[in-house]
Amino acid sequence: MYMNQRVEVIRKPVISIITVCYNAVNIIEQTILNVIDQDFKSFEYIVVDGGSTDGTIDIIEKYQDNITVWLSERDKGIYDAMNKGLKIAKGEWCYFMNAGDYFYDLNLLTQFASRCKESKYPIIVGKVEVFNNDQTSSGYYPSFQDDIVNYNPRYLFNAHLCHQALFVKTESYRAVGGFDLDYKVFSDFNTIISIIEASGGLDKVDIIFSKYNLDGVSADYKNAMKLFVESELILKKHGDKSSQFIYYVRLMHMCLFYLKMSIRNYKR
C-alpha cells in the first residue's frame, strides 16, 4: 500500500470528492484536472487506486500537491475502493467521480454549494450527460417523467438513477453501511435506495452535474446478465412487487441486448 496526504487540509470541507481508479492511464488525468480546476475550493479530493501497473500512479503523483489524500493498494473491486474513500472522507457532502467522468462545468461545485443549503434531504439529484469513449453523447439521466419523483424502486431503476447524478450526505452513506460488496456491479443503486428509504425522499435540482462515461463496469454489455440478476435481487429486497411478466420482459430485453452487442463486437 502507498498512501500520501497533502499538508494543507481543509478541516471541515463542504464536499468530499472521491475518485476510484485502476489502470486508468488514458482517462485519469482529465478527471483529476477537472476536479482540481473547480472554482469552488472548500472541498477535499480523495483518489483511491486499486494498485495500478500501467502508469496511472505516475499521473496521480504528478498532481499530488492538489490531491488531499491518495492511496494505492489492491482491493476487492470498485465498491471496496469506494468504501475506502468514504472511510477517509471528512466533507459534509460526498460525490463519487469515477475515472473517466468529469464535472459538466468548472463552476459546478459553486452551483451546488449555493443550492445544498436549501435541501431538506440528504440526497440531491441533478442530471448527468452520458457519453462513450468517442465522446458521443447518449442522453441525460435520470429521466424522471415529471417534477414529482416516484420513489418506487423500479421507477427509480428505469429512470437510470446513478451515483454520478447525486450529491449525498457523507454520514448518510455511512449510516447504511456504505456499499455492499455482495453486489459487484450495482451496489450503488442498493445504497441509494436504502438512503432514500431512511430519509423519506430526495431533492431535485435543475443542474447537469457531470459527464458520465458509459464504458464503465456497470455499462459493459458483458456484465448485462450480472446487472440483471443483481438489480432484480435489489428491487425485490426493497419491496418491488412487479409481476412476473415484467420480470420476463426485462430478461428478454437483456438477452437481446447482450446478443446484439456480442454480434456488433464480433464484426469489428
Q: What is the per-residue DSSP string for the chain? A: -EEEE-SS--SS-SEEEEEEESS-TTTHHHHHHHHHT-S---EEEEEEE----SSHHHHHHHTGGG-SEEEE---SSHHHHHHHHHHH--SSEEEE--TT-EESSTTHHHHHHHHHTT-SSSEEEEEEEEE-TT--EEEEE---SSSSPP--HHHHHHTT--GGGEEEEHHHHHHTTS--TT-SS-HHHHHHHHHHHHHS--EEEEEEEEEEETTSTTT-GGGHHHHHHHHHHHHHHTT----HHHHHHHHHHHHHHHHHHHHHHHH-
How far apart are the C-alpha atoms of 209 and 38, rounded to whole Å? 13
Instruction: Tell me what pLDDT residue 170 has.
Output: 98
Tell me if 128 sits within 8 A of 229, measured CB to CB. Answer: no
Q: Which residue has the cell 409481476?
A: 243
For 43, the grid coordinates are 472541498
| C-alpha torsion 133→43→122→165, nearest 10 | -10
Tell me if 107 sits within 8 A of 115, measured CB to CB. Answer: no
pLDDT-based confidence at residue 251 (cuts at 50, 70, 90): low
Q: Domains in the chain and their CATH numbers? A: 1-104 (3.90.550.10)
The amino acid present at 68, given as its one-letter code, is T
Long-range CB contact pairs, 27-30, < 8 A, 24+? 27/99, 27/100, 27/213, 28/56, 28/59, 28/60, 28/99, 28/100, 29/59, 29/62, 29/63, 30/100, 30/102
What's the first-to-final CA gap in the chain, in angstroms?
A: 39
Instruction: Tell me what pLDDT residue 7 has.
Output: 41
For 264, the grid coordinates are 456488433
Instruction: Tell me what pLDDT residue 217 has.
Output: 47
- Using CB atoms within 10 A of its CB, is residue 59 exposed (0-12), middle (13-18) or buried (19+)? buried
- Is residue 69's pLDDT more than 70? yes
How far apart are the C-alpha atoms of 191 and 176, rounded to whole Å? 7
pLDDT-based confidence at residue 242 (cuts at 50, 70, 90): confident
Taking residues 55-68, what's their average pLDDT? Answer: 96
Instruction: Convert the pLDDT of each residue in 166-211 to its tens digit.
Output: 999 999 999 999 999 999 888 999 999 999 999 999 999 999 999 9
pLDDT-based confidence at residue 228 (cuts at 50, 70, 90): confident
